[in-house]
Amino acid sequence: MREKLTYALGILGTLVMLFNLNTIFGDLPDEAMQGTIFRIIFIHVPAAINADIFLFAALCASVAFLAKKNFLYDSISVACIEVATMLLLLNLVTGSIWGRNQWGIWWAWDLRMTSQLMCFLLYLGYLLVRPAIAEPTQRATMSAFISIFAFADVPLVLMAIRLPNVKTQHPGPVLETGNLAPVYQGPFALGILALFLLGTALVLVRLHQETSRREIDSLRRELHSF
């Protein structure tokens, strides 16, 4: 059942993405100011939105683990964080490429970009520290605390372009300011959906691996007891 769901989500996500790419490159007109490079928004922003969704899921799972001490929540948390970290990297890299074209620089140390980089580094740290703790309960507890602490950066990233007295190089929120023309809104929403479906499929794959890893740990303990 789980395997079928994973394949279904993965295939559906790929189909939605292919359909969307066909629309983005085949049907959409160039943006008046930026030209064709504007199309990078359909991968750059959905990656950030989905990263935040998976990071929020990881936060909930971490809190649930601390409350109930059920290792399934720890597995959900690490699976979501791994996929979200990949999406954050995708967001940072595509944003940097867009910035090089539009601003003439690869990077600007403004609040939005710096806080997003910090977010990526915090969760990368989580993924690097986690395997260093051998004892499973200690590892899961420490991971939950790091996950909750790291999530504090997410609202900062979201608010960075919305704070009244902060000027950033990064553009404002396109949906809220009404700067995204209606013709672009459909592909934008489909971009979010495609990455969400693919991301969920990847989370399920990663979740299965984490369950197998726990089984490996218990088999090792069993072998030591002989």
Partner 1 sequence: MDPIAVANNLRFLFYGYTAGFLILLIFVLTLVSRGRKIDSELARLKALVEDKERPS
Q: What residue ranges bind partner 1 (CB under 8 A)?
A: 34-37, 39-40, 43-44, 47, 83, 86, 89-90, 93-94, 97-98, 100-101, 198, 202, 205-206, 208-209, 212-213, 215-216, 219-220, 222-223, 226
Nearer to partner 1, 156 or 170 (CB): 170
**CA distances from residue 58 to 53, 163, 183, 204 in whole angstroms, order as listed:** 9, 26, 34, 13
Nearer to partner 1, 32 or 165 (CB): 32
Cβ at position 191, least distance to partner 1 in Å: 11
Cβ at position 159, least distance to partner 1 in Å: 26
Q: To the nearest 10°, the Cα dihedral for 207, 209, 211, 214?
A: -140
Among residues 190, 112, 192, the alpha carbon closest in space to that of 153 is found at 112
Nearer to partner 1, 66 or 169 (CB): 169
Cβ at position 115, least distance to partner 1 in Å: 20
Cβ at position 208, least distance to partner 1 in Å: 8
Q: Is 172 helix (H, G, I), strand (E, B) or coil?
A: coil
Nearer to partner 1, 127 or 142 (CB): 127
Rounded to the nearest angstrom, the gap between the alpha carbon of residue 214 and the centroid of all alpha carbons in its chain is 24
**CA distances from residue 95 to 27, 106, 113, 192, 206 in whole angstroms, order as listed:** 23, 9, 9, 16, 27
